[in-house]
Amino acid sequence: MKLTLGISPCPNDTFIFEAMINHKIDTEGIELDVQLEDVQTLNQWALQGKLDVTKISYGVLPLLQKNYSLLDSGGALGKGVGPLLIAKKQIDHSAISACTIAIPGENTTANLLFSMAFPGAKNKRYMLFSEIENAVLNGDVDCGVIIHENRFTYQQKGLLKLMDLGTNWEEKMNCPIPLGGIVMKKSFNEETCENVNRVIKRSLEYAFAHYPFLPDYVKQHSQEMEENVMRQHIELYVNDYSLSLGENGRKAVSTLLDVYERNNQPAQV
């Protein structure tokens, strides 16, 4: 069976799926047509129903539940892994609502966590996560919400952390942060979904068994990243929740869906 798969080129995604994509494990007859795109593009494609299996921000999950099912493996949850609000200078939290904020996509977990922390902030600019640091440095925006490897680089560029939005979530909700998940079209039968989930888990188990080795597939899609940053990225975002959500992971996802409903607005990463 051939399936379309959408993941980001970030090390956490390529690390999880590399063995599956390159048939280093038993894929149970599953062939993949892989599309590598930034998470906001993947979110939009999921809203359009473009791909069979895809990575998404948990922030967009409430809008997808009619057409997609959440898989148990391959996602990113955890503690101490949330987005950061950064700026060139210290800004009092009471003044954030009047600032211009760069956000890595509208339907992202980052946007949802930021909106939860600063519900009065409306002057948002949605852009690629990789453009946000420079937008802040150039003064195009007052502050920005950063994710992924930018967590490891913002201080080197002289930027300051105003708030850890993930810590804010953890303290208020008492559960891990649901960042990104893997969903599959509901048009596939339950057996096929179980097969895909099993192969994703097997792929990650293979990757863990060979770590800290990084396959060329991971490196070639992270060309501007040093290997130590790739490993930091993987160690931050890939964990036991990536193997299986488990009870705590499912509770965290349920909590996020509840927050979305209470906010009664499109979700955000």
DSSP state of 210: H
Question: Cα(113)–Cα(110) distance, rounded to whole angstroms?
Answer: 5
DSSP 236-259: HH-SHHHH--HHHHHHHHHHHHHH
Q: What phi and psi, each to the nearest 5 degrees, are found at residue 266?
A: -55, 135
Question: Cα(213)–Cα(225) distance, rounded to whole angstroms?
Answer: 16
Q: Is 109 annotated as a binding residue?
A: yes
Name every residue whose Cβ is closer than 8 Å to that of residue 148 and which is 6 or more positions away in sequence. 10, 129, 233
Question: Cα(181)–Cα(75) distance, rounded to whole angstroms?
Answer: 4
Q: Is 122 annotated as a binding residue?
A: no
Active site residue 93: no
Q: Is 57 annotated as a binding residue?
A: yes
Q: What is the CA radius of gyration of the chain?
A: 18
Question: Cα(43)–Cα(239) distance, rounded to whole angstroms?
Answer: 22
If we measure between CA atoms, which residue out of 108, 104, 19 comes closest to residue 55?
A: 108
Question: Cα(2)–Cα(20) distance, rounded to whole angstroms?
Answer: 13
CA angle 27, 11, 157 (to 5 degrees): 175
Residue 188, both tokens: 């596939």
Q: Is 55 annotated as a binding residue?
A: yes
Beta-sheet pairing, 84-87 with 143-146? antiparallel
- Point out the catalytic residue in the list 23, 93, 148, 233: 148
If we measure between CA atoms, which residue out of 3, 67, 13 comes closest to residue 38?
A: 13
**Catalytic site residues?**
148
Binding annotation for substrate: 55-57, 109-110
